[in-house]
Chain A
Amino acid sequence: MSLIRKVVSNFANDSTEPGTSSLIEFIRVIYLFLYEMKNTVAIGFLGTQLDFAGKGPQRWERWRPTVALCQQENLVINRLELLHDVRGRGLAERIALDIAAVSPETQVRRVEMNLRDAWDFEEVYAALHDFARAYAFDTEREDYLIHITTGSHVAQICWFLLAEAHYLPARLVQTSPSRKGDVDVGGSVSVIDLDLSRYDKIAQRFARERTDGLNFLKSGIATRNAAFNRMVERMEQVAGRSRAPMLLVGPTGAGKSFLARRVYELKKQRQRLAGRFVEINCATLRGDSAMSALFGHVKGAFTGAQTERAGLLRAADGGLLFLDEIGELGADEQAMLLKAVEEKRFFPFGADREAESDFQLIAGTHRDLRLWVAAGRFREDLYARINLWTFDLPGLAARPEDIEPNLDFELERHAHDQGRQVRFSAEARKRYLEFAASPAARWSGNFRELGASVTRMATLAEAGRITETAVEEEIDRLRGAWQADGRDQDACAQILQSAAENLDWFDRCQLNGVIAVCRSSSSLSEAGRRLFAVSRAGKKHANDADRLRKYLLRFGLDFERLRGAV
């Protein structure tokens, strides 16, 4: 060390041209070498708003973050990598000149980075990630600071993520203006080192916020089913990062509509949506009224269209549209919906001018839409569009471990709605849960059914207590409903299997009724008499057995087969 000192000293003294600035530079380089003093390099965006303060001398009276960063009394920036796009070149050049005036130590390097949309998370992240990977970081000799005060908030978040993930071996630096009344326009800087333990708190906060988001989607129900929890977790991630459509697949009562609403509320909470939550079951939409209900109509579009109607898509502008049972949508509606999802534009019924609506779409279905696409009943392109994020919601029977938390949730909800706290006795609770999780419990109505079951018991509970007797009573009720279900209501599906899918619900109801009567009759004639009891009274010749046989034949069925299938 002392030898080097001497060399430096001699060099300085023997120089034939003492006092040149290159001598200072030489000495500085030696210091850097000797005392491991590193150069400080700052990287940051040109602030097209904040750094712009005109060309006149008054610009010096405005706080300009990029200039201010180089104006600090206790921080020397040796090099500034100033990121800007092609439009910002003029401003960047002027800023570089001003920095040269107030900070002769700073070398400004302009880096052109053209972003199509500085608010597009994916694009900004990719651009900065590329920048970070291409940059020749020399951490041995340079300290890096990322200036996060300028650039879009998206850029700020991306810087943070890249620094936290150590893609950028840098600390973050923030500049802030002086307090009002302070004559110093340079303001102040604060350096944020993400490796310091106190920033763990921020990381913990992020983690907590995510957990909060998860809990929110699950409505605070501490669900235990791993597959379901994974699904909700993924849903929370998608809801947080994307506005792409989501598809919820699951049986009725599995909570599709409920989850869609929670996603909406979560997004609204996080300021990602400003508009309304609009929900419609497509199975209830038919014909002209379907078009008009969804897309609106103009006055006089069809008979009875006396006034203009905005339609649900426009009502959901800026918000979230939940289309349940999207498989039931007609071909015309599917085509228009595709246009609306892709272009955020569509034609209201009878209109020759397009309407606009920008909404987040969540679709729900209990069907396997792939089969419907194969059968030509659902548009393949629309399916491809909504199938980006598909979430399968298992029914309650597939999630026996979640019955208990949902039971508590339903009791809590009842207490909240009715202002009356109801509890199970320990034995009653044990008995109910045992039954609920057993294979005997089909839960064909899923969570909606569980909710109804709890509501019944809670309503009937004497003195706020659900007893074992009440539970046994409820179990009988559920068994009865499922038996009826199993034998009669779903007889079509049982007997016709997938062919039942080709029947209108109208026909299925009728056929189910007919099957139920046949099963409880000993002969075709008896069944015929019971089924046509009213009309046969006015007939001379009773031909009800024949009518029934022909009816059954239309579905490829006969009486013997129905009897045998019991």
Chain B
Amino acid sequence: MQPLQLDGSEGEGGGQILRTALALSMITGRPFRIERIRARRSKPGLLRQHLTAVQAAAAISGAVVQGAQPGSQTLEFAPGTIRGGDYRFAIGTAGSCTLVLQTVLPALWFADAPASVVVTGGTHNPAAPPADFLIRAWVPILRGMGVDMEVELQRHGFVPAGGGCVRATVRPCHALQPLELTERGALLGCTATAVVAGVAGEVARRELDAVASRLPQAQQQIRQLPANEGPGNVLMLELRHERCSELFTSFGARGLPAENVAARLLKEQHAYARSNAAVGEHLADQLVIPLALAGRGRFTAALLSSHLATNIEVVRRFLDVDMRTRAGERCVIVEAG
């Protein structure tokens, strides 16, 4: 089969195009060749976190890969059959476990046997959605589409120390149910969680107080972790609606006041609250592949981000599916079929 040609510098121009291509290539069995990977970035080519995703994809699909080395701007990926089983992947530089899971889990939905995947590395990395986001927001929507999957956070891992662990179990299915997610429904509840490891508990308190000043209805929760899992601090806000849940995240950093951490979180929450969409920016990115695999359905997103547009473009290249976007009332409608 002729490999599909992709230009890695197009669209979002980062790692997203590669991850989406890997997932779709495994599922469709279509090899691909990507050039100019991250060509316009300051450190061009494949970085270690991308390599881990490539190696993980190669492992579950018995793929033959060419160009999988740091800094490489060209990669060829020719998948074999997706196999279930027990997998373990270790990610360097506290790279995100969730990005690797998002690459391999869609393929494992269609594997020949149940699978478990243990990924060690960063579970809460500012460059990616945290493990809690997968568990609270992404997995429930996919269950609704017929996917039998669980994700469990076993140990937190922050940048730069890493050491976190996430375990996912999947039972394969034959096909996905169409996705219909155009509105979020009534708010059932919301929870603000401040996680601290090797950082003063007072930081968590101040972050939650700042959230409470704007969202007094939010339940408050402090996750005080053993110091050796740190240093790390993250503030999360889970919004549970009738139709779906969203989870927003803001990371603490040295020299950044707790109140500013909360302010960033509230800004995201506010943008979402003002829109009419069912899902926010990051969750929307992760629904493109399921929607495309289901073949029909729609969801509404708060905005048309470059990640979203890139994902849709890659989907169009791999799958014979009509996927389009159009403007809705204070939202973007993404439709398939």
Contacts and interface: CB of A to CB of B under 8 A. Distances in A.
Nearest to B70: A74
Contact of A74 (B55, B71, B85): B71
Given A57-B228, A61-B254, A103-B93, A13 B81 contact: yes
Most buried by B among A9, A11, A15, A101: A101
B227 A57 contact: yes
Given A12-B80, A76-B70, A19 B92 contact: no
B86 A20 contact: yes
A38 to B, nearest CB: 9
A17 B66 CA distance: 24
Contacts of B231: 57-58, 60-61
Contacts of B83: 13, 15, 18-19
Contacts of A19: 59-60, 83-87, 115
B68 interface: yes
Contact of A185 (B69, B88, B160): B160
B92 A74 contact: no
B43 A74 contact: yes
B327 interface: no
A105 B120 CA distance: 12
Contact of A60 (B60, B62, B90, B161): B161
A75 to B, nearest CB: 6
Interface stretch (B46-54, B175-183, B215-223, B317-325): B46-54
A325 B253 CA distance: 70
Contacts of B69: 37
Contacts of B87: 19-20
A74 B197 CA distance: 28
Interface string B240-263: 000000000000011000000000
Interface stretch (A23-31, A215-223, A292-300): A23-31
B128 interface: no
A56 B227 contact: yes
Nearest to B87: A19
A13 B93 contact: no
Interface string A102-119: 111110000000000000
Most buried by B among A24, A56, A58: A24
B45 interface: yes
Contact of A101 (B45, B60, B65, B161): B161
Interface in B31-73: 43, 45, 47-49, 51, 55, 58-60, 62-71
Nearest to A17: B85
Given A20-B86, A74-B43, A105 B80 contact: no
A387 interface: no
B303 to A, nearest CB: 26
A31 B93 contact: no
A158 B86 CA distance: 48
Contact of A73 (B49, B59, B88): B49
Given A61-B254, A76-B51, A102-B160, A56 B68 contact: no
Given A24-B55, A60-B231, A183-B253, A74 B161 contact: no
Nearest to B46: A74
B45 A104 contact: no
A31 B160 CA distance: 29
Given A19-B87, A20-B86, A73-B48, A102 B80 contact: no
10 contacts: A5-B64, A19-B59, A24-B58, A24-B59, A35-B67, A72-B93, A73-B43, A76-B92, A104-B120, A186-B93
Q: List the 9 shortest-distance A-B pairs measured between CB atoms, nearest first.
A: A12-B62, A57-B198, A19-B85, A104-B90, A18-B83, A73-B47, A19-B87, A57-B230, A18-B85
Given A74-B71, A186-B160, 13 more contacts: A9-B78, A18-B83, A23-B59, A24-B89, A57-B161, A57-B197, A60-B231, A101-B161, A102-B93, A102-B161, A104-B90, A183-B253, A183-B254
